[in-house]
Every structure is written in structure tokens, then in C-alpha cells.
């Protein structure tokens, strides 16, 4: 699974369930097939004062699509002890898919969507017992400040750098232009896991952190990278989607260098 808060948000499928731990050959590959969302059930949600409100499904994927624009980045912070909102972006279409892991019915989740035109829109998602659906979001005016070509070039450079750092950490190599070194971080508890920093890689204003995630509980536990997407972290990935008791996974974070 790989999660991006930037345009490459790609493959955010966290969810494999089952009785054994599943290793991924590549963190850029989806864990499971994504079921298509249903067609829109009503008129578009309207952006007012920079935000909109919409109802999404508690049990199935819902799709968010901004009319006349593309979503290139998503930001959200969640309570690691509560139900998790799972965010999957489709770079080809500029849409975002959301689902939930845990009892989310009746709750409201917030996220910020950054679009290709330069807008930042807050979404307040009310979780209800409805089928998965497409939520069209309309209203507000796309920003015309700054040339589109320059923004696209910066986005391309960002994606290339972030993707390269994650691949380097996943494969364990150190090509020219990316500096990596071992770390001996102390373990800290995070829910059912013991987390330890083992490697850092740096390149072009970004820092990659490789973490060792040990399941210290007595039960098989899913590996969710969303809790690691705090301020400054632009991407997160893991090489497994579930861990048996005593098993370990590698988690890869990319953050902006300070």
C-alpha cells in the first residue's frame, strides 16, 4: 500500500483481511481490487466559503470529484485509536475514493483537497448507511494565479523525487543522488505496534524514513499507514498489509526537509 498526500496519492488500498499476513512485492501495487462507485444520487455538493458537506457510505467506497478541476493532493489527520478513513486517489482522473476501516457510521470526517488549479477545499464527510456513490462537488472559482505549465512541472518533479525515495528504501539500495544511512532509533509504542527508526534517505529537499513495525499484540493486525500522515509527511507506504503476532513490517515515510 502506498499513500500520498500529494498528487501521486495512488494506490491507497489498505485493506487486506484474511488469516495470514500478506507481503507486497511492490508498495506501488494495490492490495485488492477496487469496486466501482455507484452513479451520483443527487445534485452536486456546493462549495461555500471554501468547504462543502457530503454524505458517504459507511460500508462501500464513495468517489469525490470536483467539477471542472482535478484533485492533486489530500491532507487529513486522524485519531489512531478510532475508525480510519481510507483515502485512495486516482491520478488519471483527478478523483478521490474514500472508505472506512472500523465502525464509522454516524461520524463526520474532514479532509482538505488541493486541486490542479490551486484551490484548497475542505470536505466534511458524514458517514451514513447508504450505498457507495459518486459525490460531485461544484462551486467556487478555480484560481488563475501563476502559469499552469510551471505548476505541472513542479508537480512532476515532486512525484519523481518522492517515488524515487520510496523505491530506494523499499529495495535497500542507494543510487547516486540519494544519500542513505542507518539509524538506531529507540522503539516506541503505537497502538498494538512497537515502532523503531532504522534508516534515513535524503534527496532534493525531501527526507525518507524507514521504520520497523513490530506487532506486539496477540492478534493479527492490519497495517494502516494513515496515522503516519502528519504535518510535513507527504507520502507513506508499507511492505505488508497485515501482521501476525510477533511479525514485522517496514513502513516508509517521505517528509519535507526542514
**For residue range 72-127, what is the model confidence (pLDDT) as tens digits?**
888 887 777 788 888 888 888 888 889 988 888 988 888 888 888 888 888 899 99
Residue 87 domain flag: yes
- Tell whether 106 and 157 lie within a shared domain: no
Range of the domain at 46: 34-138
pLDDT value for 246: 92
- Tell whether 112 and 180 lie within a shared domain: no
Residue 56 domain flag: yes
- Tell whether 113 and 153 lie within a shared domain: no
In tens, the pLDDT along 49-68 reads 888 899 999 888 888 988 88
For residue 181, what is its C-alpha cell? Answer: 544511512
Structure pTM? 0.44
The CATH number given to whatever domain includes residue 120 is 2.60.40
Maximum CA extent, the chain = 54
- Tell whether 249 and 157 lie within a shared domain: yes
Amino acid at each position: 500500500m502506498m499513500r500520498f498526500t500529494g498528487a501521486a496519492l495512488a494506490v491507497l488500498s489498505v485493506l487486506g483481511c484474511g488469516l495470514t499476513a500478506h507481503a507486497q512485492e511492490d508498495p506501488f501495487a494495490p492490495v485488492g481490487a477496487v469496486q466501482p462507485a455507484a452513479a451520483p444520487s443527487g445534485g452536486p455538493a456546493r462549495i461555500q466559503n471554501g468547504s462543502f458537506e457530503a454524505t458517504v457510505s459507511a460500508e462501500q467506497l464513495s468517489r469525490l470529484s470536483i467539477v471542472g478541476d482535478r484533485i492533486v493532493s489530500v491532507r487529513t489527520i486522524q485519531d489512531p485509536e478510532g475508525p480510519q478513513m481510507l483515502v485512495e486517489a486516482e491520478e488519471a482522473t483527478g478523483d478521490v475514493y474514500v472508505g472506512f476501516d472500523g465502525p464509522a457510521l454516524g461520524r463526520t470526517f474532514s479532509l482538505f483537497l488541493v486541486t490542479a488549479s490551486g484551490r484548497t477545499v475542505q470536505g466534511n464527510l458524514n458517514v451514513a448507511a447508504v450505498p457507495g456513490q459518486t459525490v460531485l462537488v461544484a462551486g467556487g472559482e478555480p484560481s488563475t494565479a501563476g502559469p499552469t505549465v510551471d505548476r505541472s512541472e513542479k508537480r512532476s518533479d515532486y512525484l519523481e523525487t518522492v517515488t524515487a525515495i520510496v523505491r530506494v528504501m523499499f529495495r535497500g539500495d542507494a543510487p547516486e543522488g540519494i544519500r542513505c544511512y542507518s539509524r538506531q532509533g529507540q522503539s516506541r509504542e503505537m497502538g498494538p505496534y512497537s515502532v523503531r527508526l532504522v534508516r534515513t534517505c535524503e534527496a532534493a529537499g525531501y527526507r525518507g524514513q524507514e521504520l520497523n513495525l513490530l506487532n506486539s499484540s496477540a492478534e493479527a493486525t492490519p497495517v494502516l499507514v494513515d496515522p503516519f500522515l502528519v504535518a510535513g509527511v507527504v507520502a507513506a507506504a508499507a511492505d505488508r498489509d497485515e501482521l501476525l503476532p510477533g511479525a514485522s513490517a517496514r513502513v516508509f515515510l517521505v517528509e519535507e526537509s526542514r
